[in-house]
Structure 1
């Protein structure tokens, strides 16, 4: 039976009502039918006791009757169990407390006690609700779903790749007399990683000192010296020396910080490299390396478009520029209570397997997955299912699919195609409103809305306008244009219709362009 939450006023009224009531308890015996009430009774309110091992409220004139200050049990009605106690509550002609008007001592005490009872009632209701999946929240919900072996997905930081580079060759260094033992192998690796040019290779062939010839006796492949089949080679067991010119290594250490640019420090987004790397030549005069990075702050705020990361807060020797050539994404908020409830309710479906909901639930359980769409009977071919998942490690997703799919069912896995969304709108504001703050708030709301859309979810035109209007200081919104960009396709613009997203696409916010028009209102 669910608990009933009572308000402060309900508690006060209940206590005031009870002040004029008297309670008397009796032990029931079959040998005794009538029980005398000591007070002068105006009205019997309730008679409660245990009947057939269950708590029961007995009915007047059915189970008992009242006359001449006696409770008399009727032969045909229900009675308390032998030896159990029953309670009679009645209104007395002379209640002990008579002054309960506001401001009286009794009323003041009642109201003070009622406040404490209300607080305790709230705590009890919270504790009760915390035990059920539909009413628990936060840490309590985490404990409830833990019974099913499920835990809340933590927030995920955005990740991607950043390119470090320079447009001139690095400084070269001279390496003289590097000694290598010839043991008959074809190739030998040099100590330096970036070889510019081999100057001289010396050794002993048939007990005669030799200067070996490039492309006749040996060749340079990357950082390896390779002896050619028809050329002269050192005698086995002797050493040969190499003089060469190498490029100085320009290293990007693990943990290097990069960031976006903004005139406001609080809007700067920072990332760190997750592995060490060094520059290598990619074209004439251009040296670059692509390094994986991860946002320092978990959540969707770390998601940025290509070209956004351009700042190296602490300069590195030899690095002339840094830029992300592709989007940095995958940042997600922690799983919400609603999402966790839905996943927990479907958790038992995984045990059944072989169903589309169980497949969807299994993929959703992979850390980092934000949205999943499962399509049955792909292209009209039975036995083929397609899973489209956004976020998460692809190997873990494939493993979850393999562990869940039914025998004989082919499951194809793919990522959703990106549809980039640009939003232009004009905000009508009063003359004293801060454009900077309003613009920041509107942009944040629009980006959050678009990032919350799942695979195949349309971008709703009215929702964009409603979000802008919800910001304090915005009087009206006009000239709203939503543009969608798909690779290799014509740009679609809408000034009143929704942007339709197919079931294999996902909307991604790109540019939010906000202009203002002021009116003579505060």
Structure 2
């Protein structure tokens, strides 16, 4: 961006142009009168052009530098962050890998709540970033917005990890934000490039009076769940602001901050109806069968906590009035690779009530009316109700689901030229039984009849484990009763302890117990 072509404003270009315009016969040599006068004039003109170019560039965001850039961004209400501000990194993430690149512009604001419940100062991302396709998280440098007032003036010298968790203007595709490391005060002023990046985002997000700007202003006060909408049952000029945070209405200071933020952001003549959602606490009860049947109790307890946090995060992000989908909850649980099977979810709901005491105090009271509806047996909520899971008051009750196990003890014969060791043969039999069990389980899950028979088991072991023949098979059921599996050649000769087939349910697990190996000489 240049006012005049730069190649025509240099000292040498001006001198040559002046000598050329003096006409023929002019002495162009150094030291001559004509050249001396031309050089003196050219020096002043080159300086003049340079000053004009500098003044021109100082008026644009992309080319202004230093103090000139400070003047340009001042039009947007921005100031260069000086030394002493809080700086660090934040992590923006999502649960599933990004299906495409997600752009994150510089200047995106973030905040959070301190340990005492008061809002932290606002922070801004310093540079453009991208969450790449296939990734789940990205780290971005941030700095404090120093406004010399409010939370910024009272900010501590260090902000502990995992406190910066709110984004007033959410980014589509980003599900969570936090600071993995402490945020500390820096010793350098903000660079020109970072200031330009913030200014570009301020140009895009600087509008006021819109529904999104009102929602962003409310989130800046530490509110995690807010819905701003124009109600269909009200005349034009009426806006509903629904705060869905648990018990936010009882936070007197928080209510004052939210009301003040709305007044400063809304357009003149707009009437805002500030409402607070009634919190409905969900306590989910179900059993989980781990993928690894040998999982110890310590590992299962860790899995239990992971599932509890997953459910709580999903429920706490639901908009006010949104129903709770049973299939969505089940999908979240099966999304954990350590989960093999989950039985049906049961839910109890609670709301705040009063204990007559003495002394009188607030307590959670179980609802008597059911909330199930529809063919999928989802849970419905009223327009001003918000579904939440509180991990301290009513955490999900998750217990271990132990699948019924049938133990198979085999007697097999091997070919005369068998070169494998006994241990290798048993490992092959174990793997072959797993393949056979998976096929029966698939049949049962698809609604087909799944039968454990001597002939089908023998064929599978011959193919997968390369044995000569299956000579015997004892099946110990989950009840402890042992039955001998035999061929169904003559059912009349089958004794009570023998069976020709066993129907396998989808939840039954076949386990290799052992094998007696008979060599053929």
Give the TM bin, normalised by the shorter chain: 0.3 to 0.5
**Structure with the higher fraction of residues in strand conformation:** 1
Look at both structures and tell me which one has the larger radius of gyration over its CA atoms: 1
**Structure with the higher fraction of residues in helix conformation:** 2
Q: TM-score w.r.t. structure 2 length?
A: 0.35
